[in-house]
């Protein structure tokens, strides 16, 4: 059996070996972290071929990378291109198109430092919004005759339609259905009844109708007189001869 002294020495050696291994691991991690930090470029720099070069300002791009003796050479973006942030790009980004075929028009034009912003055309609403720019829009719904515009469409919402109530009408472009005209209040008669999409048609009686009506009335009076006369004559014929 081992003596107490030997046991203590063995335990001490084990602890020393464990501490040494722990120390080596920590040292390796710190060295790796230091190397990573040492090799990473600063915020305003970009890495190229293992070297850190100063970034170009917004509105420009890299024309020639830096060397040991020269800084990065930058040039302005060309027309219809831009860079919005400090960069190490060899080419500027292309400005987007606001295609009228997609229901879009230009809200804010493209500049050297910002992309173009698109918005819906008039009477269109956006269905695909990315950041502050619309990518696709559709035409507002058109209400049908017999409907009214309950909620008018906006750049981001479609038009909402609803049906007209009985006794009212709309051609589809009204925001409130209109009540039928009161022909009797204008001393007129209803020529054509109203529908959901059209008003009643008021008018005076046609002269032709008045003439026909008068002729019919006169004819009836004449017929009545003839009938009365016939009855009277018949009675005269049927009466016995007076005795002289």
pLDDT tens series, the chain, 244 aa: 444 445 444 443 434 434 444 443 344 444 434 344 444 889 999 999 889 999 999 999 999 999 989 999 999 999 999 999 999 999 999 999 999 999 999 999 999 999 999 999 999 999 999 989 999 999 999 999 999 999 999 999 999 999 999 999 999 999 999 999 999 999 999 999 999 999 999 998 765 555 666 677 787 888 888 887 777 776 665 555 544 4
The class that CATH gives domain 143-193 is mainly beta
Contact predicate 100/76, CB 8 Å: no
Ranges of CATH 2.10.50.10 domains, the chain: 39-94, 96-139, 143-193
The class that CATH gives domain 39-94 is mainly beta
Contact predicate 133/104, CB 8 Å: no
| Residue appearing with tokens 């008669």 | 189
pTM: predicted TM-score of the whole model, two decimal places: 0.60
User: Which long-range contacts (C-beta less than 8 Å, at least 24 apart) are formed by 86-91?
Assistant: 86/44, 86/55, 86/56, 86/57, 86/58, 87/46, 87/55, 87/56, 87/58, 87/61, 87/62, 88/46, 88/47, 88/48, 88/53, 88/55, 88/56, 88/62, 89/56, 89/61, 89/62, 90/61, 90/62, 91/61
Q: What is the largest CA-CA distance in the chain?
A: 191
> What CATH number is given for 96-139 in this structure?
2.10.50.10
């Amino acid at each position: 059996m081992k003596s107490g002294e030997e046991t203590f020495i063995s335990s001490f050696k084990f602890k020393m070996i464990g501490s040494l291994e722990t120390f080596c691991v920590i040292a390796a991690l710190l060295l790796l972290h230091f190397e990573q930090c040492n090799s990473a470029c600063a915020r305003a720099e970009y890495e190229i071929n293992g070297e850190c070069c100063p970034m170009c300002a917004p509105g420009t791009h890299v024309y020639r990378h830096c060397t040991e003796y020269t800084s990065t050479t930058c040039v302005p973006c060309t027309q219809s291109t831009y860079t919005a942030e400090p960069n190490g790009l060899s080419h500027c980004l292309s400005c987007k198109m606001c295609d009228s075929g997609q229901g879009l028009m230009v809200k804010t034009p493209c500049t050297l430092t910002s992309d173009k912003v698109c918005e819906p055309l008039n009477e269109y609403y956006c269905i695909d919004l990315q950041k502050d720019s619309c990518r696709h829009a559709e035409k507002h719904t058109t209400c049908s005759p017999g409907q009214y515009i309950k909620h008018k469409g906006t750049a981001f919402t479609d038009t909402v339609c609803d049906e007209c109530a009985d006794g009212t009408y709309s051609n589809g472009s009204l925001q409130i259905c209109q009540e039928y005209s009161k022909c009797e209040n204008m001393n007129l008669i209803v020529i054509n009844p109203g529908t959901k999409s059209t008003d009643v048609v008021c008018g005076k009686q046609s002269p032709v109708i008045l003439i026909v009506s008068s002729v019919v009335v006169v004819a009836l009076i004449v017929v009545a007189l003839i009938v009365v006369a016939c009855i009277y004559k018949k009675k005269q014929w049927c009466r016995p001869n007076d005795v002289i």
